[in-house]
A = this chain, B = another copy of it.
Amino acid sequence: MRTMAIRLRYEGTNYHGWQIQKDQSTVAEEVERALSRLAGAPVKVVGCGRTDAGVHAERYCASFRWDATIPAERLPLAMNALLPRDIAVMDAMDAPEDFNAILSCQKKEYTYRIYNTRLRDPFWEKRAWFYPQPLDEELMARGARAFVGTHDFKAVRSVGTETRTTIRTIYDFEVERQGPMISLRVSADGFLYNQVRAMTGTLVYCSLGKLIPEEIPALLERGDRCLTGPTAPPQGLYMTRIWYPEPVGSFMQRD
């Protein structure tokens, strides 16, 4: 059986996230439907992570196994002809037999976009968090640096998904403003449920003076979700990078 990896891009507004759910339209469901049509038999996909309803992906990796003989380089166009227009396959490759989009993942990057200006922009409505009060990106960057490292992150997650441990390592967390747009770019070996959105809300609290950035390690230590900031809304969140061992690693960084 062939094992394949595909690089996807999707605008998540119309989906209840990646993961297949009963009675809800999801990205995985659309991808499986298209693959199954090409294969003439049911195909199951594994995604590199769950994304919530309304969350987007600039780069997303899915893996699957099948017997179809279509060459990898022809798969993107063939898939895109079958997929809804807010989901696209950008690239495909034959992967090592044991490759699995979630289990093989070494590191992920998410970007959270806050549109921070007095008047909202209709073009960013479904793609950023509109925040009209002025935010101080310097204070937010100080808070972001305080999250970097290996910590127990249970103070910045939502309950609801099981996980063996709530310890994760954040490698990098940068805050950058370009005009009205503040981008928070964070990479880690993995994220807890809603962690990026809760960290975003916590950095907004830093900007508002409700928290001191340097207090963050102590708040993580205490592990109480009530002491950190609110969960930012989903439409500002994008999965932007994923790292794997070679050969899938460089495949995912192409373009």
* Contact surface of A with B, Cβ cutoff 8 Å: 9-11, 56, 76-77, 80, 85-90, 118-123, 125, 127
A77: shortest Cβ distance to chain B, in Å?
7
Taken together as a complex, chains A and B put the C-alpha atoms of A80 and B119 apart, in Å, by 8
A9: shortest Cβ distance to chain B, in Å?
6
Q: Are B125 and A77 in contact (CB under 8 A)?
A: no
**A interface majority secondary structure:** mixed
A-B contact pairs, 25 of them (CB 8 A): A9-B121, A9-B122, A9-B123, A10-B122, A11-B122, A11-B123, A11-B125, A56-B123, A76-B119, A77-B118, A77-B119, A80-B119, A80-B120, A85-B120, A85-B122, A85-B125, A86-B122, A86-B125, A87-B122, A88-B120, A88-B121, A88-B122, A89-B119, A90-B119, A123-B127
In the bound complex, residues from chain B placing their C-beta under 8 Å from that of A88 are 119-122
Taken together as a complex, chains A and B put the C-alpha atoms of A9 and B90 apart, in Å, by 31
